[in-house]
Structure 1
Amino acid sequence: MCGIAGLLFKTPTANHVLGHALATMLDGCQHRGPDSTGFALYETPAEGLRLRFLVEENDQAALARIRKALAEQGATLKSERREGASVVVEVAHAGEIRPFAYAMEHAAKLVSIGAALDIIKDVGTARDLDDIYNVSAIQGSHGLGHVRLATESEVKPEAAHPFWATGFADIAIVHNGQITNYWKMRRRLEARDFEFRTDNDSELIAVYLADKLAQGTPLETALAQSVDDLDGTFSFLVSTRDGIGFAKDRLAAKPMVMYEDDSLVAIASEEVSLNRLFPGQPLSTTEPAPGTYRTWSRSI
């Protein structure tokens, strides 16, 4: 079943903290996915890159591989810290992102790369992750969230969502549904030397969109094309360094509801997640029509 959420603050004065707001939204729809939870959070862009890896505690061999790969790729390690099931490193790197990202993926399980993006995901609920990673304290401009009901893969941190666009910086996705032409589209991308780390169709959507953006296609155009190119039932949210967007298939079997005012736009699988942002207040919400798409850019 799963549940998705997205939030973008249009102005710096929006009366919410990004991490706390997304955690609150996901807590409202946790019944849709009790197995694992994840967040894609966009903070003030840094001068370098943030990389988050899944590394078991006391796995010194994985840490050694990460450090070695960073050195081989000409990246300067600025900081390193452990958070829950992951290790976060901040680096200075001036080279191309794709070869760098693939090299780091070969060193350890890489969750995300970005100047602004940080993906936090693990087994457990939104409250569990908040306790471990202090998500509620994270301030930023926009982000995505996901609660997962495991149906086709194991319950483990790497199977949780969001997924980043492997090989690209600052692009992430959350998705509810199933892409039935997954292997056809994946083989086309692999023929162009793109790499994948999972068999999850959400990773495919992220790479598909990131490739279009890298070729100069505007996000809204890429989302319009996705409605035609992707077969199956889907509602997904995508985030970039500059904003968020959504797309729905033409059957609209997967739910999505939206609220927008002068300060923010919030999207979720269920209205209860939106109500959690404004307790006790009546909201005028809308449900995006079948086959539609839309984007929003941040002004922070």
Structure 2
Amino acid sequence: MCGIAGILFKTPAANHVLGRALVDMLDGCQHRGPDSTGFALYEDDVAGLRLRFLVDDDAEAQIARIRAALAAQGAVIRAEKREGSTFLVEVGYDGEIRPFAYAMEQAAKLVSIGTALDIIKDVGTSRELDSVYHLGEIRGSHGLGHVRLATESEVKPEAAHPFWATGFADVAIVHNGQITNYWKMRRRLETRGFEFRTDNDSELIAVYLADKMAQGVTLDAALAQSVEDLDGTFSFLVSTRDGIGFAKDRLAAKPMVMYEDDTLVAIASEEVSLNRLFPGHSLSTTEPAPGTYRTWSRSI
């Protein structure tokens, strides 16, 4: 079933509530996905390029491989932290992102790369992840969240959402649904040299959109094309360094509800997630129509 959520604050003064807002929103729809939870968070205080890896019981050996791989790519470590089942590192790096990302994924399971993006995902609920990763303390301008009910793969951190656009910086996605022309679209991208680390259709959507934007297509136009190109039932949210957007298929079998005012826009699978942002208030919400898409950009 799964549940998705996204929020963008229109004014920088509201940035301090990002992590807490997404924890609360996902807690509201946790019944849709009790197995694992994830967050894509955008912050402005990154010292260069940020990478987050998944590590396991052999963490020290994996971290040693990560450090060696970074050095081999000419990346200079500026900060690092072991946190939960992850290893977070910030580096100075001026080269091309795509070959760098592919090389780093040979060292360990890479969750995200970005100049602002940080993906945190793990087994457990939003409240449980908050206690480990201190999500409520994270400041930022916008982000996405996902709660997962495992149906086709194991309950483990790497199977959790969000997914980043493998090989690109600062693009992430959360998705509820199924892309039925997944393999056809994936093979088209692979023939152009793109690599995939999972068989998850959410990763495909992220790479598909990031590729279009890398060619100069706007996010708005890329989402419009996705409604034409993607087969299946889907509601998804995408985030970039500059904003967020959504797209829905023409059948609209997967739910999505939206609230917007002068300070923020929030989107989720269920209205209860939006209500968590304004306890005790009656909200005027809307449901995006079938086959529609829209984007929002943050204030800088």
C-alpha displacement of 1:66: 0.7
CA RMSD of aligned residues (A): 1.0
SS, match of residue 195 in structure 2: coil
1:227 aligns with 227
Could you say what secondary structure the match of 2:61 adopts? helix
Change in 2 beyond 3 A, CA 1:280/1:206: same
Determine whether 1:135 maps to 2:165.
Answer: no
Instruction: Name the structure 2 match of 1:251.
Output: 251
Cα separation, 2, equivalents of 1:172 and 1:222: 14
Q: Give the AA of the match of 2:137.
A: A
User: Secondary structure of 1:168's partner?
Assistant: coil
- TM-score with structure 1 length normalisation? 0.98
Please state how far the C-alpha of 1:47 moved relative to its aligned partner: 4.3
AA of the residue aligned to 2:201:
D
SS in 1 for 2:177: strand
**What is the CA-CA distance between 1:46 and the residue it aligns to?**
2.7
Q: Distance in 1 between matches of 2:143 and 2:61?
A: 32
Task: For residues 138-159 of structure 1, give each alpha carbon's deviation from its aligned partner in whole angstroms, at most 9, with x where no partner exists.
Answer: 0100000000000000000000
Match of 1:155 in 2: 155
Residues in 1 aligned to 2:47 and 2:38: alpha-carbon distance in whole angstroms: 25
What's the % identity of the aligned pairs? 82
Structure 1 CA distance for aligned equivalents of residues 43 and 202 of structure 2: 23
2:214 partner letter: A
Counterpart residue identity of residue 46, structure 2: A
CA distance in 2, matches of 1:250, 1:59: 45
Task: Give the AA of the match of 1:83.
Answer: E
C-alpha distance in 2, partners of 1:290/1:120? 30
For residue 60 of structure 1, report the CA deviation from its aligned partner: 2.3
Q: Within 5 A, what are the aligned runs for 1:36-51?
A: 36-51=36-51
* Consecutive aligned runs of 4 or more in structure 1 exceeding 4 Å deviation: none
Match of 1:114 in 2: 114
Q: For residues 57 and 144 of structure 2, what CA distance do their matches in structure 1 show?
A: 27
Partner of 1:83: 83
Provide the residue aligned with 2:65 in structure 1: 65
Distance (Å, rounded) in 2 between the aligned partners of 1:199 and 1:158 = 11
CA distance in 2 between counterparts of 1:168 and 1:221 reads 18
Q: Give SS of 2:99's match.
A: helix
- Aligned residue for 1:216, secondary structure, equals coil
What does 1:1-300 correspond to in 2, within 5 Å?
Answer: 1-14=1-14, 17-300=17-300
Amino acid of the structure 2 residue aligned with 1:162: P
Deviations 1:125-177 (A, max 9, x none): 00000000000010100000000000000000000000000000000000000
Amino acid at match of 2:52: R
Amino acid at match of 1:142: H
Q: What is the CA–CA distance in structure 2 between the aligned matches of 1:16 and 1:56, rounded to whole Å? A: 31
Q: How many residues align?
A: 300
Give the Å deviation of 1:64. 1.7
Letter in 1 for 2:287: E
Letter in 2 for 1:89: V
Q: Is residue 13–residue 263 contact of structure 1 (8 Å, CA) maintained in 2?
A: no
Helix, strand or coil at the partner of 2:176: strand
- Please give the alpha-carbon distance, in whole angstroms, between the structure 2 residues aligned to 1:110 and 1:156: 14
Q: CA deviation at 1:15?
A: 8.0
Residue type of the alignment partner of 1:183: W
Deviations 1:203-232 (A, max 9, x none): 000000000000000000000000000000
* CA 1:207–1:116: 2 relative to 1, 3 Å: same
Q: State the alpha-carbon separation in 1 of the partners of residues 258 and 213 from structure 2.
A: 25
How far the C-alpha of 1:62 sits from its partner, in A, is 1.1
In structure 1, distance between residues paired with 2:107 and 2:140: 29
The residue type equivalent to 2:293 in the other structure is Y
Q: Tell me the SS of whatever aligns to 1:89.
A: strand
Shift of 1:45: 4.9
Q: What are the superposed Cα offsets for residues 90-116 of structure 1, whole Å, 9 maximum, x if unpaired?
A: 100000000000000111000000010
Q: For each residue in 1:60-97, what CA deviation from the matched residue of structure 2 results, as whole angstroms up to 9, or x when unmatched?
A: 22112111111111101112210100000110000000
SS in 2 for 1:14: helix
